[in-house]
Structure 1
Amino acid sequence: MSNRAQEARKALGARLRGFRKDAGFRSGRAFAAITGWQESKVSRIENGKQNASEDDIRAWCRHTNTDDQIDDLIATVRHIEELWLEWRRQLHAGAEPRQRKAMPVYEKTRVFRIWHPTLVWGTIQTAEYAAETFRQVIDFYEIPDDKDAAVAKRMERQQYLYKGDRIFNVLLAEQALYTNVGGPEVMRGQLDRLLAVMSLRRLSLGLVPKSAPMHIWPGNSFSMFDGKLVLVETYSAEFSVTQPREIALYGRAFDLLKRSAVYGAPARALIARAVEHLDD
């Protein structure tokens, strides 16, 4: 769970603890007895170890005479849930809706900062490369197969590379040039695509060589949208970072990763070497 989600859960728990004490329940055991819950559940909720459900909130407020707080507390619970979205929940209807959901964010963002240590970033992928990544997603999460629709929506996202005054700062680790997605022909097309997008005026593509001195560990991939939002992906979930202090940490991480990157001719040389590897 992200730090922001954990902090929000702890704050909610402290608020509920205050309601319990104000209602005259001096201990969690006494409150558990009146609600029919396990004492451990009361403790976990109050200490931010477990998120309260909407039904839990209603019961808590009913027993503490704070019904006027229900709507606000339920809104808080829903916000906490949104900070950490399991991929299964996001992708239950297929991969295309998640791609569609990204479009308004791209529309509003002026400066992008992208870090991918192992794969090519989606917005500069070829259709063939994207199709293979979606095939793996569909198989792994066992979701409806809407690969073609998802690819089409991802390709539509590339329009923002050419529209408006957006600036794209993209960092890939050298490993992304070698991670075999779809086989040699797909990879050859993808590497050619990287060479092509390097000429775009508003896109800065840096590559971090595998032997480059690192100033921070590579970590997970992340995408920064202006200074307002960071999306971080793991195998189980995607979480949103919106707290300014945390966003600043990702900005600092990006700057440290950038210090290890090469651009221009040295970056093209790394891509050419990866193409030669395919030929070998």
Structure 2
Amino acid sequence: MSTDYQKAREALGLRLRELRLNAPDGRLTGLQLAAILQWPNSSKVSKLELGRQTPTPDDLREWAEATGRPEAYDELASRLAGFESHIRSWRRTLANGFKPAHESLSGEIDRTRELWMWEESVIPGMVQTPDYARHVMTRYSELLSPASDIDEAVRARAKRQEWLYQPGHKLHVIMWEAALRSLICPPSVLAGQLDRLTGVIGMDTVELGVIPFTASMRIVPANGFWILDDRLVVAEDWHAELWLDDADNVALYLKVWRTLRESAVYGADAQNVINAARRALNAR
């Protein structure tokens, strides 16, 4: 992924390599450093230096000490803190249009086997119809940054959904009933979107749950987020998108998702909630 987040991780990797090559007692090879650190997997050194893995604070402290530069830890920790909760400003991200932003996330999804998603007020992008997606993007464009490539972005989002039809993939999605009823598009478009939802309930790669308005909630149904395997969380707010890959945050968001799941209904019960929203459109 060619994001600011990844660039920051690669820059930290270069700094780690510099410390290894310029150790006061002489340059260390990756194997030598791994032995000093007592890391059973020597490939971890190269992964960290190439920005393919995010170090923990303990990794950084041990690295600084092993390379004879313990005073470098504060600098390394500061770099890590700067991108563990990396903020991708919507205004900056969308400056080049919606399509590049979609392709950036699609690259991460392509190497993902299992997705957990929560949305409180909009149908998740992985199961959106093109018409619905177009209206959602248009609303964001009007608010954040006028875009001329919405149709291209809609096609990119539709292509991303090919992921659902590949063996070995699994999408676990929960949405609040509000997402089924929010008229951010014409009623006819929302009707088509709800029909699409009923069609994915039977897919073997999709587990779709809905939290009815009447359900008891253990936590507030707040902002939407995606969890990619056990390595990355993408959370959205009005001003920015957050990419979080430290273990503690991933574990927290999984806990939030599982807590929300306790209030969700599935199968025929989910279909009934969707059908009720669909009938309400017919009555308008």
- Give the TM-score normalised by the residue count of structure 1: 0.72
User: 2-side partners of 1:82 and 1:145: how far apart?
Assistant: 30
1:251 to 250, 254, 258: 254
Q: Shift of the alpha carbon at 1:120?
A: 0.3
Counterpart amino acid of residue 207 in structure 2: S
1:242 paired to 2:250: no
Offset from partner CA, 1:61-111 (integer Å, 9 cap, x none):
xxxxxxxx8xx87x9389539801110111111111111111211111111
User: 2-side partners of 1:208 and 1:90: how far apart?
Assistant: 32
1:214 paired to 2:217: yes
Q: Shift of the alpha carbon at 1:173?
A: 0.4
User: Residues 110, 244 of structure 1: CA spacing in aligned structure 2 closer, same or farther, 3 A cutoff?
Assistant: same
User: 2-side partners of 1:77 and 1:204: how far apart?
Assistant: 35
State the superposition RMSD in angstroms.
Answer: 2.4
User: Residues 201, 77 of structure 1: CA spacing in aligned structure 2 closer, same or farther, 3 A cutoff?
Assistant: closer
Q: Shift of the alpha carbon at 1:241?
A: 1.3
Counterpart amino acid of residue 112 in structure 1: L
Where does residue 21 of structure 2 map in the other structure? Answer: none
Work out the percentage of aligned pairs sharing the same amino acid.
32
SS of the aligned residue for 1:204 comes to strand
- The aligned runs of 1:119-268 (5 Å cut-off) are 119-268=122-271
User: 2-side partners of 1:141 and 1:277: how far apart?
Assistant: 31
Retained in 1: the 8 A contact 2:84–2:244?
Answer: no
Larger radius of gyration: 1
Retained in 1: the 8 A contact 2:84–2:246?
Answer: no
User: 2-side partners of 1:247 and 1:77: how far apart?
Assistant: 16
User: 1-side partners of 2:84 and 2:262: how far apart?
Assistant: 35
Count of matched residue positions in the alignment of Structure 1 and Structure 2: 213
User: 1-side partners of 2:197 and 2:270: how far apart?
Assistant: 10
User: 2-side partners of 1:82 and 1:153: how far apart?
Assistant: 26
Counterpart amino acid of residue 187 in structure 2: P
Where does residue 273 of structure 1 map in the other structure? Answer: 276
Retained in 2: the 8 A contact 1:117–1:218?
Answer: yes
- The aligned runs of 1:43-62 (5 Å cut-off) are none
Retained in 1: the 8 A contact 2:85–2:244?
Answer: no
Retained in 2: the 8 A contact 1:129–1:187?
Answer: yes
2:96 to 87, 93, 98: 93
Retained in 1: the 8 A contact 2:84–2:245?
Answer: no
User: 1-side partners of 2:155 and 2:117: how far apart?
Assistant: 21
Counterpart amino acid of residue 273 in structure 1: A
User: 2-side partners of 1:275 and 1:178: how far apart?
Assistant: 8
Counterpart amino acid of residue 173 in structure 2: V
User: 1-side partners of 2:166 and 2:129: how far apart?
Assistant: 19
SS of the aligned residue for 1:92 comes to helix
Q: Which runs of 5+ in 1 are unaligned?
A: 9-68
Spell out structure 1 runs of 4+ moving beyond 6 A.
Answer: none
SS of the aligned residue for 1:172 comes to strand
Offset from partner CA, 1:144-197 (integer Å, 9 cap, x none):
321100000000001000013111100000111000121111011000000001
User: 2-side partners of 1:124 and 1:225: how far apart?
Assistant: 16
SS of the aligned residue for 1:83 comes to strand
Q: Shift of the alpha carbon at 1:123?
A: 1.0
- Give the TM-score normalised by the residue count of structure 2: 0.71
User: 2-side partners of 1:244 and 1:228: how far apart?
Assistant: 7
